[in-house]
Chain A
Amino acid sequence: MAFRCVAAHAVTLFRLRGTPTVTTATTHNLWMPLARRFATAVEDADAVLDGLHYAASHEWVKVNGNTGTVGISDHAQKELGDLVFVELPEEGSSFKQGEKLASVESVKAVSDIYAPISGIVSAINARLSESPDLVNKSPYADGWLVKVEVANKGEIDSLMTPDAYRQHQAADSH
C-alpha cells in the first residue's frame, strides 16, 4: 500500500497517465495497478483560462454584460474522461447557483454539472448532441455548455479567480 502511494505521487508529479492494455494475467498482484498507471506519454498540465470565474465543483463562467457562458474546466474534462453524452437543460429553464444544471456521461459514469451562477438558460450548445467530445477537445471554447441570463452578478464574488482555481485543482489532484 505504501509503495503504491509513492507510485501514485510519482504519477501526479510527472503527470503520467496509465494506458489500458490487453492482459491475460492469471494472477493478481500489486504490480498490476502500478503497471496500469505508467505510460510513455507525458500530459500537459491542466489549463486554467484567465478571464473566467471558477466554481469549486470545476465549472467556469464567463460573464459578458448580463450573459454568462458556462462550461467545465480542463481539469474536470480530463478527470471525467472521454465524454459520450451531454444532457443539457431546456432554454428558458432557471437555476440557482449550485443547483444541478446538466449531466455528462463518460464511460460507465454519469456526473452532474452544477450552475456556477444563478440565471435563466438563454442558449444551449446544440453541437454537443452530436459531438460531446467537443467538451474534451475545447473545454473553454467550442465545448461550452449553456449561456445564461445572469440573475445576480454579485454571485461572481463567491467564485474563484483563475489563480485560486489553479491552487484548488492542484489540491484536487493529490
Chain B
Amino acid sequence: MKLLRLQGFPILQQLYLEERLLRATTHNWCLINQGTNPPAIIVGISGKPEKLLDVKAVLQDNIPVIRRFSGGGTVIVDTDTVFVTLICRRDAVTLPDLYPRPIMEWTEHLYLPAFQTVPSFHLLEHDYVLGDRKFGGNAQSIIKDRFLHHTSFLWDYQDFRMAYLKLPQRTPTYRLARSHSDFICRLKDYMPSREAFTDYIVKAFEQQFRLQEISLDEVEKTQPSSVPHITSTQVFTTADLQQSIMPLIVKG
C-alpha cells in the first residue's frame, strides 16, 4: 500500500486526486492530509445545498461548497480536520464481496489499534464514535474490484462553522435529536497530538499492510492526471447556490 502524506492540501484537489487513484490506478493507497485551507463544505454525491445548508450564510461568508464523488452526509472541513483515505483492491481485503457494511466493519478493525489509548472507540451504525459521540465522518465509493473509504476526523472544530449545517433529514438512530455540539466530540481531547494520532494510524495500518511512502511528485509522475477517468467531484458555483434557494425565496 502506497502511503501519501500531505499537509494542508486543498480538499478539492484531494478529492480529484482520490477519484483518479480509485478509478485510474490499480494500486492500494493510503492518503493522510493534515487539514485544508480555506474551510470548505463537502456534501455527498446526492446532497442538495438548499436542504443541507444555510445557503444564505454560506454565500455571505463565501465558503466553497463541493459535491464529492462518494456517498454520505455533509461535513465542514478546515485546518482542524485530519483526512484519512483508504483505496483498496478487492484482493487486499478479506471480504467475500465489496458492500458498504462489511467494508465499514473491516475499517473498524483496521483502526482499532490506533485507538488503544482511547476508551470506547467503536463503530456505531455507520459512524466512528467514542461512547456515543461521533468524531469523524465516513463515506465510500465502490467500483468493480476496488473501493475507497475516506474519513474526515474532527481533531478540533469551531462551533460557529457548524452553524452552516442544517440538521439533516436522515440522522442515525443514536443521535437522538441531539444538537451538533452534543452529538460530536473533538479528538484532541483524547489524543496527545495530531502527529501522535497519525502515527498511531500508520502503525495500525502496518498491521495489515506493508506501507511504502510516496511523495506527491512521484504520484503525479507515475499516475498522471491525463489518464481518462470518470470525474464526479464538482464545485458549486455562486450561481448554483443562489439558484438552489430561488424557489424558497419566491415562496417567501
A-to-B contact residues, CB < 8 Å:
20-28, 32-33, 57, 79-81, 84-85, 87, 98, 100, 103, 105-112, 114, 171-174
B97 touches A109 (CB 8 A): no
Q: State the Cβ distance, B93 to closest chain A Cβ, in Å.
A: 15
**Does B201 have its Cβ within 8 Å of any Cβ on chain A?**
no
The residue of chain A having its C-beta at the shortest distance from the C-beta of B176 within the complex is: A22
One of B79-87, B132-140, B154-162 contacting the partner: B132-140
Total A-B pairs, Cβ < 8 A? 103
B70 partner, pick from A79, A98, A109, beta carbons under 8 A? A109
A24: chain B residues at CB < 8 Å are: 131-132
Once bound together, how far apart are the Cα atoms of A83 and B131, in whole Å?
28
The residue of chain A having its C-beta at the shortest distance from the C-beta of B108 within the complex is: A33
**Does B10 have its Cβ within 8 Å of any Cβ on chain A?**
no
The residue of chain B having its C-beta at the shortest distance from the C-beta of A104 within the complex is: B71
A114: chain B residues at CB < 8 Å are: 144
B132 touches A32 (CB 8 A): no
Once bound together, how far apart are the Cα atoms of A109 and B143, in whole Å?
11
Q: State the Cβ distance, B98 to closest chain A Cβ, in Å.
A: 8
B45 touches A105 (CB 8 A): yes
Q: State the Cβ distance, B58 to closest chain A Cβ, in Å.
A: 22
Secondary structure at the B interface, as helix, strand, loop or mixed, is: loop
One of B27-35, B119-127, B187-195, B236-244 contacting the partner: B119-127
A107: chain B residues at CB < 8 Å are: 71-72, 100, 126, 170
A23: chain B residues at CB < 8 Å are: 124, 132, 174
- List which B86-101 residues lie within 8 A (CB) of chain A: 96-97, 99-101
Once bound together, how far apart are the Cα atoms of A112 and B142, in whole Å?
6
Once bound together, how far apart are the Cα atoms of A28 and B131, in whole Å?
9
A80: chain B residues at CB < 8 Å are: 99-100
A109 touches B132 (CB 8 A): no
A112: chain B residues at CB < 8 Å are: 142-144
A109: chain B residues at CB < 8 Å are: 70-72, 100, 103, 139-142
A103 touches B45 (CB 8 A): yes
The residue of chain A having its C-beta at the shortest distance from the C-beta of B115 within the complex is: A28
With A80-B99, A105-B44 already in contact, the answer to whether A110 and B71 are too (CB < 8 A) is yes
A28 partner, pick from B69, B120, B132, beta carbons under 8 A? B120
Q: State the Cβ distance, A21 to closest chain B Cβ, in Å.
A: 8
A108 touches B139 (CB 8 A): yes
Once bound together, how far apart are the Cα atoms of A32 and B125, in whole Å?
12
A172 partner, pick from B97, B132, B176, beta carbons under 8 A? B97
Once bound together, how far apart are the Cα atoms of A32 and B46, in whole Å?
32
With A107-B71, A109-B71 already in contact, the answer to whether A85 and B101 are too (CB < 8 A) is no
